[in-house]
Structures are given as C-alpha cells and as structure tokens.
Structure 1
Amino acid sequence: MTADDQLSGSVAARRLADGHLAVLANPTAGRGRFRGLLPAMLDRLGAVGRPVRLLEAGSAAQAETACRAAVEDGAAALLTVGGDGTIHLALQAVAGTGVGFGPVPAGTGNDFAAGMGYPTDPLGAVEVIAAAVVAGRTRPADLARMTGPDGTRRWYGAVLAAGFDALVNERANRMAWPRGPRRYDLAVAVELARLRPRRYLLRLDGVTRELDGVLVAVGNCPSYGGGMRICPTADPTDGLLDVVWAGPVGRATLARIKPRVYRGTHLAHPMVHTRQVRTVELVAQDIVGYADGERALPLPVTVTAVPGAVRLLR
C-alpha cells in the first residue's frame, strides 16, 4: 500500500466515524423492478447508527450536483442504488476525495459493482456496505480518468466504448421511436447497415499506432452492457487499462464476434487485439465516447488509469 493509499484510507475512516450516509437512488433503474426494496435498504443502512439522507434529483445533471454537494457537506459516505449510469454520476463526486463509496446494484447493467466484487443481490450488497461502515473499512480501487483537448475531465469505473457500440448508443439516444429495448435493437440494425471501418490513432503509453477498426474499448473493469466481457482480463486494482480493438471487419464477421464477447472469448479472434497500458490517447472523427453506458466526451480523449482513485465500502 502506497502513502497515498494510506492517506486516502485514513480520510475515509475519519469520515466514516461521523457524519451521514448520502444515498442517490434511481427509481427507474432496472426498469423499476427494485423500487419496492428501497425502504428496506434505507432501514438497514439506518441501523448502522448514522443518519441516512436520500438525495433529491429530477435529472442526471441534478443528481451529479447533489452528489458533489453531499461530499462537500461532509457526508461520511456516498451510496448509489441503481445501475452503471447512476454510479457514473456519483463517481464524478467521490473520485480522488477519499470519501467511501458503496454501489448497490439495482440497474439493468451492473458491470461496475460486479467488477468490484459486490453481490449481485441488492440486499446482499447493502449488507456488505453496512458492515464496512460499522467497521470503518474501505478498500482502494482504480478508476479511469478521461480528459478532452479543452481539459474537461470525466471519471468512469467500468468501460469506455469508442467504436461501434458508441455509435449505436449515440443513434439510440437521438431516436424518439420506438421506446424501450426495441429502440436499441433498431439502432444496432441501422449501424450495422452503415458499418465501415474508421481511422483511429491510438497512443499507447506514448507509442503511436494508426489503424482501421470498427470496435474500440478501454476497460478498467471487464464488462459493459450488462455482462458483455469486452475486456475480460481487466483488473480494477492493477493500475492498468485494457485496450481492446477489432480491425476492419465486415458486418458478417462483426456479427460472429459480438456473441463471443459475453464469454470473453473474442480475444482469440485474429482480428481482435488487446494491450494493457497506463495511458491511452484515442483520436478519431465523429465519435462520442460512452463511459459506463453514459454519453461522456467526444474523441479525441486521453484516458489514464488512476490507482486507488475510489475507496470502496467493502
């Protein structure tokens, strides 16, 4: 453990000894199927002897602002009840602060919580978090920091999509019809019909590589999209990022590769490549990166692994 880890851990322990637990809950996460469990979760957290404050927010921007305000107001810890999108908002507030963070997986995609070793059952995750609060215990984990050309920064915990999957998300977000999962399915069909390799410049720990590709992902954790193991060897405690890309393949080949991503066996395909790095610069035209499933920054961006950037309640 480094001196920075020890300092961050001591900050988290001091805050856990006093103060309130701030909770950001997304009632629409997981299509609302865990909404009825929220009172029981809050009761269990209240039993640890700390006040529990449920943050109020009517939009993603308000939720992020509320998280930042809670941290600045001296919250003992910040917890989320939701999926990766909810976590993404909270990470902007806790990254690098030493404030304890507890993700309760209650979304459609819970890739960050799974990658960090939390139980998949929300009530089970609350038990783990509550025990950590009582013990004053946190564990350091890495985050990825994105930086745009203008200095804008965004943190993420799971995976940055910067290829075909990012284009699908961008198209789906622009579509007003149909609603629900069918909108994403339609966006996939449209982008597959329009599929073409794009020119990328990747600077991997300072080594420049130019390539044509259809899929690029940068992982701090192994999976995205609710269990797709796009970066199967990514470890959020090793201080490294896993960069995975697929070369200039056509629709038929991409359609064969994609199902293998769920098992993490796509790395064996001759057109799929991976590297582990501390920093990667991504340059391409007309692509907006999606981090933790959320619209983040347009390319070009620099992504850096930041060891111990978050203190997990585990």
Structure 2
Amino acid sequence: MNIALLANPTAGKGRRAALLPAVVERLAEGGAAVELLEAGTQEEAREQAREAVRRCDALVAMGGDGTVHLGLQAVAGTGVPFGIVPGGTGNDFAVRLGLPTDPLEAAAAIRQGRTRQIDLARLEGGDGTTAWFGAVLAAGFDAFVNERANRMRWPKGPQRYNRAIVEELLALRPRRYTMSLDGTETTFDSVLVAVGNTESYGGGFRIVPGADPTDGLLDVVVAEPLSRLTLMRLRPKVLKGTHVHDRRVSTHRVRTVALAAEGVTAYADGERICPLPVTITCVPGALTLLG
C-alpha cells in the first residue's frame, strides 16, 4: 500500500510536530510505503496532494481543519481513501466524525484499513470558485471576524482573534440576504448564517447541532438581527448547541442552498473561500474515510 502524507508541522502552534516521525512509522507498519509531501506554499501542497491521489492508494492529512480542507480538495469524489491525523487546535471535522484525537491512535486506526462513506458539501461561487468542505460554512458574523483577523498584523495568536471579535461587535449590523433552500427563495436581514455538513467549527462551537454527514443533507442556521449584547449572550450557548431553541434562530435541513448578500465573504472549514453568492450542494458519500 502506498500512502501519501500531507503534513502541516505548524498546525496547533506546532505542538505535535515532533510526532511526525512516529506517525510515519505507525502508518508504515505492515510494509506500507509512506511518502511525505513537502511544499513551501499552500498552492504547492494542493497540487502535490492532487498528484499524489493519482498515483497513491491513500492520502492522509496530518494537521488542523485547514490541512484537512486542503486534502479534501484532492480526494473528494475520487474514491481514493482519505485518513486524518488530528494535529490542530480545534480538529472539528475529525472530532465530529468520531476519529481518535491522539495522532498515534489515529494513525493506527488508518492502518487498519476500514473505510466508510461520508457526505461532503460542494460549493460553487458566483466568481467561478469551486471548493469542497467537510464541516461548516460561515457567511455572517463569524466570517466577518475571520476576515478582520486575517487582515491584522497585531497582536499575534489568539489575542488577534479576540480583538477581531470586539471590533466586529462594534461594527455589527444586519446584512440583507437572499437564500434559496431546495428552490424555495426568501429574503431576510441577518447577522449570522451558517451551513453545516457536520456540527461544529471554531474548536467545538456546535453552530449546526444535529448535522449528520451521512444523511445526504445540509443543516442551515439563520439568526435574525440581534443586538451586540444578545449575540454575545447566545455565543456560549453555541458550545452546547442550545442556541437553536431561541425564537430568533431558525434551522433548516436541505439538499441545496443558494446564498447571496453584498459584501459578505464565505469561510468554510475555517478557510477563506470566495465572496457571496454561492451555491452549496450536499454530495452523498463523496469521501471515502479511513478509520
């Protein structure tokens, strides 16, 4: 068996980078050949992963949700088995799939060779962008926070994200959205819109509780215009998924979502994708998951 390993040693602040040789050794048990993909840029890594899928028996991603997202672009819809060795801070996709969070245990589970089919979401943007995602697409407050944090050069680390939250709260205003759910179109004002294949993002925030990556459907959560104080009071409830019981929050379960709004950039699996409009479709069984 030939395994290509896409590893990001900087994921999770580099805390698990030292485990990379042991992960390679664990994956190679039983005589498998493990090829470590080396790339200097994200685009190089994306191309190497796609090339590896054409010649290898499996692709394994070691890193956080961003590394997994990159790997999904290469394997989605190909039938080539995909393994995940969690190495990030949140690891939302792996956790919601019930995979081991310990890297060595995850590598051992991959070597057992068991596979299962998992749904993925396929996105098409109005600007021609196409992408796959496994966890959650954000197109509201949390997307704006990510966008602001990515523009900042100071402070470093988690404090940059915290500062972005505060600044976005101060700038908070509803946006006008047009959304089509399986062909039924509505227009509304909102501060938060999320589309999920699995439940959580941001390290355990269960923004779309109950999302099942094997049911062939996407879960959609929409919050009506909220004050800054109300939004912050709801945020802790997202950790438990109980925010959906608030009368100002609506949920939907559909096959296809089309979403448009001025000045909104979509983020999926924590990665910047493209400006709205986008059309998102659940593709049943698009991922052959190892472990």
Instruction: Identify the TM-score tier after normalising by the shorter chain.
Output: over 0.9
**Structure 2: how far apart are the matches of 1:71 and 1:122?**
22
**Structure 1: how far apart are the matches of 2:83 and 2:151?**
32
| 1:221 CA displacement | 0.4
**Structure 1: how far apart are the matches of 2:104 and 2:135?**
22
Superposition pairs of residues 213-252 of structure 1, within 5 angstroms: 213-252=190-229
> Where is the strand percentage greater, Structure 1 or Structure 2?
2
Superposition pairs of residues 20-169 of structure 1, within 5 angstroms: 20-72=2-54, 74-132=55-113, 137-169=114-146
Partner SS for 2:112: helix
Partner SS for 1:263: coil
Post-superposition CA distance 1:2-49 (Å, at most 9, x none):
xxxxxxxxxxxxxxxx4x100011000011111111111100111132
**Structure 2: how far apart are the matches of 1:40 and 1:312?**
22
Partner SS for 1:167: helix
| 1:149 CA displacement | 2.1
Q: Structure 2 length normalisation: TM-score? A: 0.98
**Structure 2: how far apart are the matches of 1:40 and 1:235?**
32
| 1:261 CA displacement | 0.3
Post-superposition CA distance 1:182-209 (Å, at most 9, x none):
1111110100000001111110000011
Query: In the alignment, which residue of structure 2 is the partner of 1:174?
Result: 151
**Structure 1: how far apart are the matches of 2:115 and 2:30?**
16
**Structure 2: how far apart are the matches of 1:58 and 1:226?**
26
Aligned residues between the structures = 291
Query: In the alignment, which residue of structure 2 is the partner of 1:285?
Result: 262
Partner SS for 1:37: helix
Query: In the alignment, which residue of structure 2 is the partner of 1:206?
Result: 183
- Most deviating of 120-129 and 155-164: 120-129
Structure 1 gap ranges (5+): 1-17
Moved over 3 A (4+): none
Query: In the alignment, which residue of structure 2 is the partner of 1:306?
Result: 283
Give the share of equivalent positions with the same residue, in percent.
60
| 1:66 CA displacement | 1.0
Post-superposition CA distance 1:257-306 (Å, at most 9, x none):
11100011100111111000000001011111110000012100000000
**Structure 2: how far apart are the matches of 1:169 and 1:190?**
12
Cα RMSD after superposing both structures: 0.9
**Structure 2: how far apart are the matches of 1:80 and 1:150?**
28
**Structure 1: how far apart are the matches of 2:151 and 2:12?**
21
Query: In the alignment, which residue of structure 2 is the partner of 1:12?
Result: none
Output the amino acid matched with 1:304.
Answer: T
Output the amino acid matched with 1:49.
Answer: G
| 1:138 CA displacement | 1.7
Partner SS for 1:80: strand
Q: Which among 184, 187, 193 is matched to residue 164 of structure 2?
A: 187
**Structure 2: how far apart are the matches of 1:60 and 1:217?**
25
Post-superposition CA distance 1:158-178 (Å, at most 9, x none):
000100000000001011111
Q: Structure 1 length normalisation: TM-score? A: 0.91
Structure 2 gap ranges (5+): none
